Amino acid sequence: MTKKNLVLLLKILISGLLLGWLIYSFDWIALKDIFLTAQPGWFFLAVLLIVISMVVSVEKWSRILRAEGINLPWLQLWKAYWIGIFFNNFLPSSIGGDGIRIVLIGRSISNIAGAASSVIIERLLATVGLALTGLDMLPISKSNWYVGWLFIVLIIVAAGLLFFVMLGRIPAWAAKSDGKFSAFVRGFLSHGHALRGQKKMIITVLFLSVLFQLTVVAVNYTIFRGLHVDLLSWWDLVFIIPAISAIAMVPLGINGYGIREGAYVLLLASYGVTGSEALGASLLFAVLVSFCSLYGGVLWLVNRGTVADNAENAGKEFGLA
């Protein structure tokens, strides 16, 4: 077994154990009653909001690519993003959804470095947007004030990495070497450097990142309303959902499964939400996102040969396959 497969297996095991422990610990009858008395109409609205959040995400990515001088049809980015979401939810691998996006777009334009730079920068700006969304609500938060430190750390780390990527300073070893990986590093950093000075674009993407987080909050708001959990106000969720998303970023499981559910239960307890209600909301959120990502699975099946060939070629290009 390779090291990558071992890491993947450990992540699956951690997520499975956490989910198993959470499900075992709570009242099955109460959890069943929560779903049996739910109002499905709210969940249809949640699905619509998930789709809207994807529109916002693709628009963010599109703007970063254009700022790097890479102009691609919006529909092409839309398809690549959904395929990436599908991989995150149904095909856990060492590649991951972001890797699939990089491969699909990078190989289509023969510019893996530019595609990688756009995806990484989008993720970093999204992290800053997530932290800013939650941090703005900290002064009116009823509890869990200590989560504010997590937001501050995220901002510092993401902003620091953004500065490094946009600085464009090529390491000496990459500047001297003629290898493919060195060429990738030079290209990656040069594309990041191209974004320096583009304050309007960065502010716009940060705004869209906050808007994305608010749509995620809205998805959760509709889920809680559909489950008849009325203890949480909109403003409570604007603070707590980004906090849960931040905790779910810890790379110990598969796509945050287990960790996210535990965060729901832990952070919502101080708001009077029972463990069964919190677990039910978390599981329903995961189910709805996974259901929506099936669209990406259809796109992947249609383009499966292209995806596989691009992934293999990308690996060979950098000596990874």
Span 160-182, pLDDT tens digits = 999 998 887 888 777 777 778 88
Of 15-29, 65-79, 100-114, 149-163, which gets the smallest average pLDDT?
Answer: 15-29
Residues 32-49, mean pLDDT to the nearest whole number: 89
What is the spatial distance between Cα 53 and Cα 281, in angstroms, rounded to a whole number? 18
- pLDDT for position 24: 60
| Separation of alpha carbons 189 and 166, rounded Å | 7
CA pair distance 103, 137, nearest whole angstrom:
37
**CA 44/CA 61 separation, integer angstroms:** 26
Mean pLDDT to the nearest integer, 30-49: 87
**pLDDT greater at residue 95 or residue 125:** 125
| Alpha-carbon gap, residue 231 to 224, rounded angstroms | 9
* Pair 183, 111: CB distance under 8 Å: no
Q: Structure tokens of 135?
A: 């941090």
State pLDDT tens for residues 81-106.
999 999 888 765 545 788 889 989 98
Kindly state the DSSP code that residue 177 receives in the 8-state scheme: -
Chain CA centroid to CA 195, Å:
22
Q: Which pLDDT belongs to residue 254?
A: 60
Q: What is the secondary structure of 188-234 as a DSSP string?
A: HHHHHHTTTT-HHHHHHHHHHHHHHHHHHHHHHHHHHHHTT--S--H
Tally of CB atoms within 10 A around 277: 23
Residue where the block lists tokens 């796109």: 299
Rounded to an integer, the average pLDDT of 130-148 is: 79
- State the chain's mean pLDDT as an integer: 83
Highest mean pLDDT among 142-146, 187-191, 211-215, 242-246: 211-215
Looking at the predicted structure, is the pLDDT value of residue 218 above 90?
Answer: yes
What predicted TM-score, i.e. pTM, was given to this entire model?
0.84
Residue 320 has pLDDT above 50, yes or no: no
Q: What is the mean pLDDT of residues 48-63?
A: 96
Q: Which residue has the tokens 């595609």?
A: 115
Question: Per-residue pLDDT for 251 more than 60?
Answer: yes
Query: What does the pLDDT look like over 229-247, one tens digit per residue?
Result: 988 889 889 999 999 988 8
Two tokens at 174? 């990459």
Q: What is the DSSP letter of 250?
A: S
86 to 71, 103, 259, 299: CA distances (angstroms): 24, 15, 20, 9
Q: Are 113 and 188 in contact (CB under 8 A)?
A: yes
- Radius of gyration for the chain, computed over Cα atoms and rounded to the nearest angstrom: 20
User: What would the DSSP string read from start to end of 244-265?
Assistant: HHHHHTSTTSSTTTTHHHHHHH
172 or 45, greater pLDDT: 45
Q: Contact at 8 Å (CB) between 18 and 283?
A: no
Predicted local distance difference test score (pLDDT) of residue 94: 45
